[in-house]
Amino acid sequence: MTDDAWQPMLFGATTAEGSTEDGPADELRVCALNVNSPSPGRAQRIVDWLLATKSNTLVLTEMQPSDGGRHILACLQAEGFTTTCTPGWTDVRYLTVVATRGLEATRVQPAGFDPRIVAVDLATDDTTVRLVGVYGPTNGMTPESSHRRREFQHQLLDYLAAIHHPALCVAGDLNVIEPDHHPRLPAFEDHDYAFYTGLLDLGLRDAYRTLNPAGGDHSWINARFGNQRLDHTLISPGAGQITTCAYDHTPRSEDLSDHAALLTTLGLPSASGATTRRPG
């Protein structure tokens, strides 16, 4: 799907390219949220909340080319965000969108096997971070679901190896949990844990786990299937310093989504190679 397919509903105030309205461009402030296929009414509430986070980069998963999805994209574009999704997918069920403001965004070679993956280079004057947004297939707890997830996971690892970048960030609803997840969830299989481990083998760090070694947060809460930490941000050391990473459950508590958002702040390297950190 090209970005042009989202254009008909532009409205609202705009922000000039390069604006620092959301803070300095020496930070990457990523909000990853599964928007849960919103209706137009819920879509407007989601946009209002996203803007309030002051994030300069949004990774939106479980998007659909529906009225709700178009509403979110049109509102973000009107607010000065550049939106990127996989081109050429006009009749898909689900896709991932990356929206960014105040950073130069350039589309990276698409993952031709699935519109659930979108990659973009985000550039400042000093550095470029390659961001890959991902919406992994849901665990349907059936043999067919397992096969679909396994194939997707293998293809994604191959794709990430092919487009590898010294400053790499992978974010979104991966629909997998870490091998020592608590509680233990027998519905996940060896290939799910191998996929998570494979991401780390690419040199990526789990941002939440890096800052919260003993943290027990979950991003999807379900009494029947068990609470699960499905949403992740994984970052290579070359991308900068992870300064904050936390789950915000407001989208769940306010019925915007059935997922918590994952908010991550990354201090970007300067031209001298040092990582810029704001005081405090």
The kind and range of the H/E element at 47 are helix 40-52
Residues 15-65 have pLDDT tens digits of: 333 334 555 568 999 999 999 999 999 999 999 999 999 999 999 999 999
Measured between alpha carbons, how far is 169 from 234 in angstroms, rounded to an integer?
Answer: 6
**pLDDT exceeds 80 at position 6:** no
Are 226 and 185 in contact by the 8 Å Cβ rule? The answer is yes
**pLDDT exceeds 70 at position 176:** yes
Q: Which residue has the higher pLDDT, 250 or 141?
A: 250
Residue 12's pLDDT is what?
30
- Helix/strand/coil percentages in the chain, nearest 5: 25, 25, 45
b (16+ CB within 10 A) / e for 107-134 = bbebbeebbbbbbbbbebeebbbbbbbb
% the chain with pLDDT above 90: 70
Residue 11: pLDDT band with limits 50, 70, 90? very low
Q: What angle do CA 230, 233, 234 make, to 5 degrees?
A: 115
Domains of the chain: 3-7+24-267 (3.60.10.10)
**pLDDT exceeds 80 at position 276:** no
Residue 90: pLDDT band with limits 50, 70, 90? low
What global pTM score does this model have? 0.89
Q: Which residue has the higher pLDDT, 269 or 45?
A: 45
Residue 23's pLDDT is what?
59
**Rg of the chain over all Cα atoms, to the nearest angstrom:** 18
Least confident of 7-21, 34-48, 212-226: 7-21
Average pLDDT, the chain: 87
Residue 78's pLDDT is what?
98
Least confident of 120-134, 155-169, 261-275: 261-275
Residues 70-81 have pLDDT tens digits of: 999 999 999 999
DSSP 62-124: EE-SSHHHHHHHHHHHHTT-EEE--TT-SS-S-EEEEEESSSEEEE----TT-TTEEEEEEE-
Residue 33's pLDDT is what?
98
**pLDDT exceeds 50 at position 7:** no
Phi, psi of 148, rounded to the nearest 5 degrees: -65, -45
